[in-house]
Amino acid sequence: MTAPRRQYRYYDLVMVAFVTVLVCSNLIGPGKVTQISLPILGVLTFGAGIMFFPISFIFGDILTEVYGYASSRRVIWAGFTALTFASFMAWVIVTLPAAPFWHDQAAYNSVYGSTWRIALASLVAFWSGEFVNSYVLAKMKMMTQGRWLWTRTIGSTIFGEAVDSMLFFPLAFYGSGDFPDDQMPMIVLAQFLAKVGVEVLFTPVTYKIVAWLKSAEHEDYYDYNTDFNPFALKN
């Protein structure tokens, strides 16, 4: 007989935060391309959502580090389901005919009217990247016996964000004319470096949250007997 999953005080709150950041960064962020000038680096052009999307990977790190891969897997599927519904809802609302007296359809389309290709690319890239991130962190935690947290939070993010970036941009934009195809590798690299940079900057915050959660939940899970199949239903 399988033992019931342990109940935690803050697990559901972390899950809600993860899903909220994910949906907002994918629905609100892509609607604006911003450009800023920085010393040394010069002018940077990027989608505004890149400032917040990496936070979902930080939550993924926290979940796996404290609660284990299986608990993180449940949250990734919750995020995938929420993102799928949000994309479907946006498509339905954009497609509905506008009232004759409402003149903001074009503006609404520009913000929420992602094509099916971009929406699908986002789902595939998120699902793949998050599971890679969680898997690598769980394995590294066992290899390091729980030491050097920064190596696995940053290391797992490098792998996860690499998969996410390499899948999303080619799937969403290659051959579409939105970006020059010969510039795609540089765009992927720039987005990847920016996302990993956010993880590095947030490392001190990640340390504090992980330490607090481990103490509050009396949990520091190691995935020695975990089934790493992303489709497995059991913890």
> Does residue 21 lie in a domain region?
yes
Is 232 part of a structural domain of the chain?
Answer: no
**Domain contains 231:** no
Q: Where does the pLDDT of residue 70 fall: very low under 50, low under 70, confident under 90, or very high at 90 and above? A: very high
Give φ, ψ of 88 to 5 degrees: -65, -45
H helix intervals, the chain: 11-27, 54-67, 69-95, 105-112, 116-144, 149-173, 184-201, 203-217
| Encoded tokens for 199 | 């993880």
Residue 126 lies in a domain: yes
Q: How confident is the model at residue 93 (pLDDT cuts 50, 70, 90)?
A: confident
**What's the pLDDT score for residue 90?**
84
Residue 37 lies in a domain: yes
pLDDT at residue 235 in the model: 60
Strands 42-47 and 33-38: antiparallel
Q: Is the pLDDT of residue 32 over 70?
A: no
Find the farthest-apart pair of alpha carbons in the chain and give their distance in angstroms, rounded: 64
Q: Which domain holds residue 71?
A: 11-217
pLDDT-wise least confident of 122-131, 150-159, 173-182: 173-182
Would you say residue 6 lies in a domain? no
pTM, entire model: 0.87
CA separation for the pair 230, 35 (Å, rounded):
38
Give the model's pLDDT for residue 2. 44
Segment 155-200, tens digit of pLDDT? 999 999 999 989 988 888 777 676 677 878 887 888 888 888 888 9
Tell me how many domains the chain contains.
1
CATH number for position 195: 1.10.1760
The answer to whether the Cα torsion of 159, 73, 10, 15 is positive or negative is: positive
Residue 1 lies in a domain: no
> Has residue 160 been placed in a domain?
yes
